[in-house]
Amino acid sequence: MSYKQQYDFWLNDSYFDEATKEELRAIGSDEKEIEDRFYKELEFGTGGLRGVIGAGTNRMNIYTVRKATQGLANYIIKQGGKDRGVAIAYDSRRMSPEFADEAALCLAANGIKAYVFDALRPTPELSFALRKLGCISGIVVTASHNPPEYNGYKAYWEDGAQVTAPKDKEIIEEVKAVTDYHDVKTMSKKDAMDAGLYVVIGKEIDDAYMEELKKQIIHPEIIKEVADDIKIVYSPFNGTGNVPVRRILSELGFKNVYVVPEQEMPDPNFTTLEYPNPEDPKAFTLALKLAKEKNADIILATDPDADRLGIYALDTKSGEYIPFTGNMSGMLIAEYILRERTATGTMPANPALVSTIVTTNMAAAIAADYNVKFIEVLTGFKYIGEQIKFFEQRGSNNYVFGLEESYGCLAGTHARDKDAVVAVMCLCEMAAWCKKNGITVWDQMLKLYEKYGYYKETQYAITLKGIDGAAQIAEMMNKLRSNPPKNFGDLSVKEFRDYDNDIAKNLETGEEKSTGLPKSNVLYFDLSNDSWCCARPSGTEPKIKFYMGVKGTSLADAEEKVAKLTESLKAYL
């Protein structure tokens, strides 16, 4: 069907409710809007669904959610997992509870039990819950840190991680195979509950989750010692982190936790936030103001589904709060855990640290220093979660910590996705250790730079929307792939890796080998002087991202080197 035929079908078919039709009638004279809403199906990708809320095939609505869930249900039944059930969580966004219910009732109509949280919960708690309940799959309704007009739907498998290959592609095929909305099953909530196919979960999972988090604490005595002195400002960005973050800090004994009042309660419009993303400095405006009033040691913020953590720390010399990238906060937590577990004899046998290919090279340096196996995976935390599964299956290593540059990390194996609640807890313990030793968190970061090198990373993204944009992004990748540059400015390319074609080519010797990682549309340039550059089209947004990293001899030197590399990349493009 053409976009126009799809529009007419939605307007006239009895399957769609009156409110949906009303919304579509209102855009009847806007051809461009009709085309954008119906020119394609909202794609169910390897990360699930994500899109603007509204009526249409290319939008997030009860019908697209239901259709995707029917595909997932068909897959679960084929895998023989019908009797194990699916856990469902949702965040504070518009339509999140409704979409969670639609997914649950579609599953129930297919004879699959849905365990639905009684209120909003963080994404990592969903990962924990589905394993705790022995479910075959999990769904979390969230658009993470996207603007308020978006919502999304992430699918998880029985190991607690987001679905990885080959299952991701198999589920996508099942979703694509559902072409007729009339084939999508649903039932009333009352009938589903009466049949025992819609089960509400809550406190019992929260309590078990909290107990698991506390197992990651190394020095509870240090927290008690400085609890009266350390001051923490926290913002949940109007999302799911408020209750669990405050609970864990309170139960550990932290006394001075100040929550940004305007961003405390759930708000689907994120009224005080242009963009509810801990990577955006503007999102910290109110938290910084509160921190200055309270003379806080650290500022923490979790994104709306509480899987990512952003931090600022006080530099007592300048009196300013310094922003930390995800690489920096991840390295602080990683180094603290490896150091203190080694010192206290609590490091497991064959420990491993897992990171992604676009995360700081400092991770490898720290892992080597503590004699911990270092493993790199593709971008996306599901690949870190997958390594935990591999370790368990093979009995090879014990996972200690994993991180990615986009402000996500995980200590422990209670979840198989990044967990900002455990990250807050670990970072606050590390901050308590700093306080006890008379230094700031920023001082500790400088110590790591002095010891391992001044690693600095940056990103350069180009947004290209619509059909033409997608073609331009593809063309850019083709240019880099078919004619890879020999250098970026004064940095020579030592090795070129094309993960889509599984080729790692040494440009000095001409030798080619396998990348050793799954197929993915990613290009990586290993450069001289411990520098690198990586190109990757985004899976969730209409943009191509370039990740870069350098190693300098000082903060200023690293800053200069990364700016130079960025300019060289732009010149090439």
Query: Catalytic amino acids?
Result: 144
- How far apart are the C-alpha atoms of 548 and 358, rounded to whole Å? 8
Give the number of C-alpha atoms closer than 13 A to the C-alpha of residue 45, restricted to the C-beta side: 11
Residue 277 CB neighbour total at 10 angstroms: 22
- Which single residue is written with the structure tokens 């001409």? 510
d(Cα 50, Cα 56) in Å, to the nearest integer?
14
Q: CA dist 116 to 120, 138, 215, 422, Å?
A: 10, 10, 26, 22
State the Rg of the chain over Cα.
24
- Beta strand 86-90 pairing with 114-117: parallel
| DSSP codes joined into one string, 351-407 | EEEEEETTS-THHHHHHHHTT-EEEEE-SSHHHHHHHHHHHHHHT--EEEEEEETTT
How many residues belong to the chain?
Answer: 573
CA distance 126 to 122: 7
Residue 158: which region, alpha, beta or left (left: phi > 0; alpha: psi -120 to 50)?
alpha
Alpha carbon distance 73, 55 (integer Å): 23
C-alpha 295/C-alpha 344 separation (Å) is 32
What is the rounded distance in angstroms from the CA atom of residue 96 to the CA atom of residue 140?
A: 9
Token reading at 46: 């390897």
Q: Nearest CA to 447 among 339, 373, 354, 352?
A: 339
Residues 126 and 130: their CA atoms lie apart, in Å, by 6
Two structure tokens written together for 304 = 């709306």
Crossing angle between the packed helical segments 31-38 and 3-12, to the nearest 10 degrees: 90
Beta carbons within 8 Å of 33's beta carbon, 6+ residues apart = 27
Within 375-493, where are the H helices?
A: 381-394, 420-436, 441-452, 466-482
CA distances from 432 to 226, 296, 332, 347 (A): 6, 13, 13, 21
Tokens of 233: 């400002």
CA dist 226 and 437 (Å) reads: 10
Tokens of 328: 């920096």
